[in-house]
């Protein structure tokens, strides 16, 4: 569920935050297809297409959102099929994000050719259980 109004106050020297849920909740849709299965990646947040069939690129397409307001923190592509430096950029960019960020990832075409062990560990930390089985 997304959040709306945020109220912060200090109680006995401790900062407390109270947030009200976004009316209607959150809607995040992610679609992904390999080359032979449609070759596209899309990420839609609250009805806004952040990665479309036209803008999604080969490899990992990642969107990061603020968990309270769904403000866009990052919208990046990492061609971990063809670019040897893409996996390290992915790891570096991920580590800069606030720990509470909402992350959505869609892969277009192929993303494993130059995907590093560190990048796989990031994906595992997000909940991926099959990243070690992903192959071209």
| 38-70: pLDDT as tens digits | 999 999 998 999 999 999 999 999 999 988 788
CA distances from 65 to 3, 58, 117, 127 (A): 12, 21, 25, 17
What's the mean pLDDT in 96-114? 94
Task: Name the pLDDT band for 6 (thresholds 50, 70, 90).
Answer: low
Residue 25 confidence (pLDDT): 72
Q: Which residues lie below 8 Å from residue 59, measured CB to CB, with a gap of 6+?
A: 77, 78, 79, 80, 81, 82, 83, 86, 107, 108, 109, 110, 111
């Amino acid at each position: 569920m997304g959040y709306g109004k945020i109220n912060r106050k200090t109680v006995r020297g401790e900062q407390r935050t109270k947030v009200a849920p976004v009316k209607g909740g959150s809607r995040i849709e992610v679609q992904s297809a390999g080359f032979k299965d449609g070759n596209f990646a899309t990420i839609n947040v609250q009805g806004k297409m952040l990665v479309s069939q036209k803008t999604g690129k080969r490899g990992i397409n990642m969107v990061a959102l603020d968990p309270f307001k769904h403000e866009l923190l990052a919208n990046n592509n990492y061609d971990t099929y063809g670019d040897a430096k893409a996996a390290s950029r992915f790891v570096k960019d991920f580590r800069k994000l606030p720990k509470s960020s909402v992350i959505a990832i869609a892969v277009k075409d192929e993303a494993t050719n130059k995907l590093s062990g560190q990048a796989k560990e990031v994906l595992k930390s997000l909940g991926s259980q099959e990243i070690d089985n992903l192959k071209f």
